[in-house]
Structure 1
Amino acid sequence: MEATLKLKLLAYTPNADAVVAKGGKLCYYPGGIEALEEGLTEEKIGRFVSMLAEMQHESPLEHAVFTFGIEGVSRSLTHQLVRHRLASYSQKSQRYVREGSFEYVIPQDIKNNYKAKKIFIEAMENAQTAYDNMTEELLVEKIKAFYACKNERIAGEEESIEEVLKRSNKEIIQHCRIHFRKECSSLEKLAIENARAVLPNACETKIIVTMNARILLHFFEKRCCNRAQEEIRNLGIEMLKLVKTVAPNIFKYAGPACTYESCPEGNMTCGEMKEVRERFKSM
């Protein structure tokens, strides 16, 4: 089934604009920390944050931190996301969480092409079948090895171990879950950590991300650009909209690099700098 992006700002530094302004002001202020707030109106906070941006004095931005909960994105996206190294990530594990009926993200170009979309969905269904079958085969193999170390007969059972292992795969797995619940769970994790190798990049995942404002601005510069892959670009834009509601001064000029300077992409430019600037300045 197709996944849908869900994004939530889980936590953030209260009064982030003011915190950054105080951090920047302290660097040039002869007085004490308690006096930093004197006369620090909303207007002055805005001016001070803008001044820091103009001076490219970025270290005070690191005092403001933002945590996002992200669902309905592909593994392909998170492979790109975690390349922004100066951040913290907690992602749903495919080693410990079984991907039963996994959701997937369909790239827009594929979605717009009827035949391509049909091929894509068939590939997802085939991957699910391969994953399920491989998990079952690997799990049964491990259960058989586990049972080989047991007595000939399990207490309370009329059938011998040898007779149990003649059953179907599903019956063997069910037998193990009933009599050795904890051990069966551990064996299943060993099976799915290998079966996950057949899962596609499009497989849906969930991740919690924490970044400070300095790293976020760099993230927006790179990932809100038209040359970024569409899925992560759409995520970046939605993240930017969220942080602008709680820290409007910090992220006043946030967006791709061409929002505030000439396009750095050279011959690879999208050629839409004017439109991009207008879009992000009005956001």
Structure 2
Amino acid sequence: MSPQVRRPPVFSALVALLALLLVAGCTAQPPPGPTPGPGRTRWQPGPGTPWQWQLNGRADPTAADVPVYDIDGFENSAADVARLHRDGRKVICYINAGAWEDFRPDRADFPAAVRGRPNGWDGERWLDIRRLDVLRPLLERRFDMCRDKGFDAVEPDLMDAYLNDTGFPLTAAHQLTYNRMIARIAHDRGLSVGLKNDVPQIPALVEDFEFAVNEECARYDECAALTPFIKAGKAVFHVEYDLSTEDFCDRSRRLGLSSMRKKLELDRWRQPC
């Protein structure tokens, strides 16, 4: 403040402040976009955070001394999540958001009309992500399950259907709309959410997600494309299956990725960088 500006007397200043507060109380609008649910603050892991990813069966809490576990939302109970929390860990709920699975308890809720071609995994078919009217309530119930079991975040799988032969004429625009819907569903429940793969759309989606999960960016020479998350102070949880740690760990550390090698079946075994 320059020395020429005149300050009002204290009494006048208090009156002016009260008037402003009254106006603000009458006209203030809620902030745009979803906010965490009651009593919940969304968790945002930072770059380089170590993690364990186990989708094969119930989580083994002794498998890795790391602060983050990413585990199957259906196969693990609230007690399993609570056990990991007692150990001081954050827990991510894996669900499939891009394909129908014939082994899930809610499989009959997905109409045949939204099931596309097989995606290469036994019992799975791509979903028609254009059908938000059908898929949104089904995903909301899955996210409710993650919230009710006490998970901190969600990893929705298969977020890049438009890059695959799904049986539906999907576009990048369809995928952006779908992925942002998924982020809103998570945020409405106070849950953090990760962007799974979908590397080409990272610049457009980095603000919508608290972290990223990536498979094989080193194998396909895509790891540098994940740096928008790192620059935003958000973790990139990354795995390689075929490469040795000598092939990718040095670069992963330079980029700030949370990298490890896993077996394709995603059991308890891990080889971190």
Q: Which structure's relative contact order is higher, taking Cα pairs within 8 Å and 6+ residues apart?
A: 1
- TM-score per shorter chain, which class? under 0.3
TM-score, with structure 2 as normaliser: 0.26
Larger radius of gyration: 1
Higher strand share: 2
TM-score, with structure 1 as normaliser: 0.25
